[in-house]
Chain A
């Protein structure tokens, strides 16, 4: 790959991909937004998890509510321990996925974009996406066997997550190839 030719033909892309070696403001801004959103996601997942666990262990704030009665009917066949374990496992997987997204955004923010560290973080995010998908999938399957009202059906979210995970791995390979090309380019004067 001839990077100097690419830089001349597509200056905006070259600037965005940091072929010039420094982080352009637009990439930095996007990465900062991504970091903030991932942090918010982690915060709200933690709050929701704590709330759910508190409700499961301590009881609903309003036991007469429609939500409570519906949940009580559904969860009558399942032990509280199992539900708490499910909530904690799924939330932990979500938090770790969001954390890896935050790490990726941090690497993109500090630059350079074409680096082994960015490639590894894309790959890690892909792995966490698959893992959280598997955890959710396993609990859904077990729930569908235990809870009569619960029915397991693969939805759009499942396929979207698989596609995102594969995309992360593909981007990781592309970044690694970019790193290799950039290294080779540095050998030319």
Chain B
């Protein structure tokens, strides 16, 4: 999958823990962990909007397209 999820980069920049983000956006830590590792089929717009609101960033800062990207994990 050439889509990389840079969620933990943003978490580090905002100095926020995964646990806190999961609580703020209303998903489980397990699901957030899967999202961070890019092991999900998709992200709902409402989840993306909640993450962007919580981390005060744009979707483009969280997701990245790499044509050669065989590794699904981001960060």
Indicate, yes or no, whether A interacts with B. Answer: yes
By the criterion of a CB under 8 Å from any partner CB, how many residues of chain A are at the interface? 5
Q: Give the secondary structure class of A's interface.
A: mixed
Question: With a CB–CB cut-off of 8 A, which chain A residues contact B35?
Answer: 189
Please tell me if B32 contacts chain A, counting CB pairs below 8 Å: yes
Q: Give the secondary structure class of B's interface.
A: mixed
Contact with B along A1-38 (1 / 0, CB 8 A): 00010000000000000000000000000000000000
Q: How far is the CA of A187 from the CA of B40 in the complex (A)?
A: 5
Please tell me if B56 contacts chain A, counting CB pairs below 8 Å: no
Q: How far is the CA of A187 from the CA of B34 in the complex (A)?
A: 9
Distance (Å) between the CB of B41 and the closest chain A CB?
3
Please tell me if B44 contacts chain A, counting CB pairs below 8 Å: yes
Distance (Å) between the CB of B17 and the closest chain A CB?
18
Distance (Å) between the CB of B48 and the closest chain A CB?
9
Please tell me if B31 contacts chain A, counting CB pairs below 8 Å: yes
Contact with A along B28-50 (1 / 0, CB 8 A): 00011011000011111001000
Instruction: Kindly list 6 other residue pairs between chains A and B, CB separation below 8 angstroms, not including A184-B41, A188-B42, A188-B43.
Output: A4-B44, A187-B40, A188-B41, A189-B27, A189-B34, A189-B42
Residues of A within 8 A of B (CB): 4, 184, 187-189
